[in-house]
Amino acid sequence: MADFFDPHVIGRVKGLELRSLRLVESFMVGMHKSRLRGISTEFSQHRPYVQGDDTRHLDWKVFARTDRLYLKEYEAETSMPVRFLLDTSPSMFFRSDEAAMSKFDYAATVVATLAYLLMQQKDTFGLVLFDERVRSVLSPKGSGGHFRNVLDVLSGAAGGGRTDISAALLAVAPQVKQRGLIVVVSDLVDETDRLASGLGQMSFLGQDVILFHIEDPVERDFPFAGQTIFLGLEQEGKLLCEPRDLRHAYLAERRRHLATIRELCLRFGYEVEDLPTDTRLDVVLAGFLALRQERRRR
């Protein structure tokens, strides 16, 4: 039984953090700082006093030096609840000879790695396995025991029905009580016309969303030659054809499909990150986290 805990990947990313680029608010104490100003735990900056401001936050020491009134502003330290939505549809269990592992194994290692980081950050994390409906739910918690439960659920996952990301998002929505982060990990073999409703609901709830697009290299490059039988991994049937006749149309449709998903995410201010299974996970994940951390800092 695989546990998807890869010490090498953990070692590469353990100095980084998974943070929300949107407002996060909570009464719990974690590592994440909201942009909500008020009485809190960490000083942020000064700003000039404006008539009507609360005088309790005046910095009298600065006034004594400058003869000008300035307010002290603070950043509220918050925890960030994260929910991982992991696709367990049959296409996720595909692995070509060019890939080191199946799409699901790659995706599950991503989830395990990020869950470990969140545990170190003292943030809470939950897990939802889904295909055309939700198959398993672990509500967000932050303990070591909960992390082991996440690994156990990942190890026991099996392929089910077709992918329906929107249905999973809408099923999770009633459980969301606090602003946080939703991480969808899928090969995005899904109908795009319904996706907007799920993403829109998350936006309405104030959630930040990341879509990790897991792809096998043969899906990306279509390197086939000679008469080939193609089997649909999500009940699409089979097709016997000459790949050269199909390649151009396939790649064009794939680009259109992914562009549509990116446009939907952009509409709500969400990110889509490509994770090819022939790419070293520690490298691509470290790069993603570092870039996101720098964007948040700016």
How far is 105 from 89, CA to CA, in rounded Å? 13
For residue 194, the Cα-to-chain-centroid distance in whole angstroms is 19
The residue among 181 and 41 whose pLDDT is bigger is 181
Cα 210 from Cα 198, distance rounded (Å)? 13
Q: Where are the beta strands (DSSP E) in the chain?
A: 32-33, 42-48, 70-75, 77-78, 82-87, 125-130, 134-141, 181-186, 208-215, 228-231, 238-241, 271-276
Residues 208, 276: contact at Cβ < 8 Å? no
Residue 182: exposure state from Cβ atoms within 10 A (0-12, 13-18, ≥19): buried
Q: Does residue 181 contact residue 83 with C-beta atoms inside 8 Å?
A: yes
Query: Which comes out higher in pLDDT, residue 31 or 194?
Result: 194
Band (pLDDT 50/70/90 cuts) for residue 32 is low
**237's torsion region: left (phi>0), alpha (psi -120 to 50) or beta?**
left
The rounded mean pLDDT for the chain is: 87
Domain range summary for the chain, segments of one domain joined by +: 7-18+81-297, 37-75
Contacts of 247-255 spanning 24+ positions with Cβ under 8 A? 247/222, 250/222, 251/222, 254/219
Q: How far is CA 276 from CA 107, 117, 220, 259, 279, in A?
A: 10, 21, 8, 17, 6
The 10s digit of each residue's pLDDT in 104-160 is: 999 999 999 999 999 999 999 999 999 999 999 999 999 999 999 999 999 999 878
- What local confidence, expressed as pLDDT, does residue 67 receive? 87
User: pLDDT, tens digit, for every residue of 55-76?
Assistant: 877 888 888 888 889 887 655 5
Q: Which CATH number applies to 7-18+81-297: 3.30.70.260, 3.40.50.410, 3.20.20.70, 3.40.50.300?
A: 3.40.50.410
**In the structure, what pLDDT confidence band is assigned to residue 53 with cuts at 50, 70 and 90?**
confident
Q: Show the DSSP H helices in 101-143 as ranges.
A: 103-121
pLDDT-above-90 percentage for the chain: 61
Q: What pLDDT score was predicted for residue 40? A: 40
Whole-number Å distance between alpha carbons of 80 and 92 = 28
The 10 Å Cβ neighbour count of residue 83 is 26
The answer to whether 127 touches 198, Cβ cutoff 8 Å, is no
pLDDT of residue 58: 86
Please give the pLDDT value at position 42: 54
270: pLDDT confidence band, cut at 50, 70 and 90? very high
Is a pLDDT exceeding 80 seen at residue 34? Answer: no
Residue written as tokens 């049959």?
A: 90
pLDDT at 225: 82
Structure tokens at 22: 């949107």
Query: What tokens appear for 110 in the block?
Result: 């991503």
What is d(CA 50, CA 135) in angstroms, rounded to the nearest whole number? Answer: 54
Tell me which of 52 and 192 has the higher pLDDT.
Answer: 192
| pLDDT band at 39; cut points 50, 70, 90 | very low
Instruction: Give the pLDDT confidence of 21-31 residue by residue, as tens digits.
Output: 775 443 344 55
Torsion of CA 94, 99, 104, 110, to 10 degrees: -160
Phi, psi of 130 (to 5 degrees): -145, 155
Nearest to 128 by CA among 93, 162, 82: 82
pLDDT digits over 211-269, tens only? 999 999 999 998 988 777 777 666 667 777 777 888 899 999 999 999 999 999 999 99
Bridge partners of 184, per DSSP, are 85, 211
